[in-house]
Structure formats: C-alpha cells, structure tokens
Amino acid sequence: MENDQQSKAFPVSWDQFHRDCRALAWRLADKGEFKAIVCITRGGLVPAGIIARELGVRTIETVCIASYHDYDDQGELKVIKPIDPKVIGNDGEGVLIIDDLVDTGKTAKVVREMLPKAHLATVYAKPQGREMADTIVTELSQDTWVYFPWDMGWQFQPPITKDSAG
C-alpha cells in the first residue's frame, strides 16, 4: 500500500455504510418512482439491497463491469454481464443505477451509455467522476482511498497525524 493511500484512508464501518445508504435513499425518495434498480457490481450490490428495501423496489438487476488495471491506473473496461433488455426498457427511463463509489467516472459512463435516461446514484463520489452521478451522499477528495466494510477485518488504524509528544 502506498503512503498516500495510508494517509488519505477513509475506512467505512458497516454501521456508517448502512446510515449513508439510508441517507441516499432519503435523497432519492422524492425523485419519482423507480421501477427497477440496476446495480453496478460488485460495489453496488450492498447499497442496492438497502435502497431497494427503503424505496420498495422489487426488481434488482446487475451489470458486471471489470477493469483490468493496477491500483495507479484504471485500464480497459469490459462488460462481463450486460443488463437484461427487459429492464432497459425506454433507454432506462424509471431505472435507478446504484454504485458504492464513483471514482474516475469511467465505469459510470459505460453504464450511462446503456441507460441514458436512468438516474445514477452513488454513496460516495470523487471529483473526477462526480458529474456522472445525479445523486450522492458524500464527496471525497480524488486521492482518498475508501476501505469498504466488506474489504476490511478488525485491525488497528493509525491516527491521521503523528503525536509529537510520543
């Protein structure tokens, strides 16, 4: 792990993530009725389940996109599993796209091209990808590394600044 990732770490607990997903659902509640949710996997699976419950949406579809990259450079994107054509309907009208994070916006752009009339919502957003999302909860700096609860175990987290008193 690079030093920047350590110093700009944003660890998210299950409780915090659940609260943030509910906050996203509150923001989406007045955006109209959604007939289906398309979650971008894998990160969109958990927030899609929470938001579907909160908004009473029963149809949840996935779109699976893989990025072949190292952690410094996002590479080529490949659609592994497309969206079921029955869900797409009229260019995604009435569809809610959910992801955990929009980072560079490249993945969101691919899904937006599939569903141009859909509403895209993410729990967290970074500046490079922010314009791709219609609704977010929290904006983070581009150099922040988000540690989602499904990526973590229980371990010590170093303080943000070093205590000079020792």
pLDDT digits (tens, 9 = 90+) for 98-128: 999 999 999 999 999 999 999 999 999 999 9
Q: Does the structure show a pLDDT above 80 at 46?
A: yes
Domain tally, the chain: 1
- Asked if the structure places residue 61 within a domain, the reply is yes
Report residue 33 as tokens.
């009725």
Give the number of other CB atoms < 10 A from CB of residue 116.
10
Determine the structural domain holding residue 59 and report its residue range: 17-143
What amino acid is encoded at 62 in this protein?
T
| pTM as predicted | 0.85
- Asked if the structure places residue 159 within a domain, the reply is no
φ, ψ (nearest 5 deg) of residue 55: -100, -5
Q: What is the CATH number of the domain that holds 101?
A: 3.40.50.2020
Strand partners, 63: 40
Catalytic residues: 99-100, 103
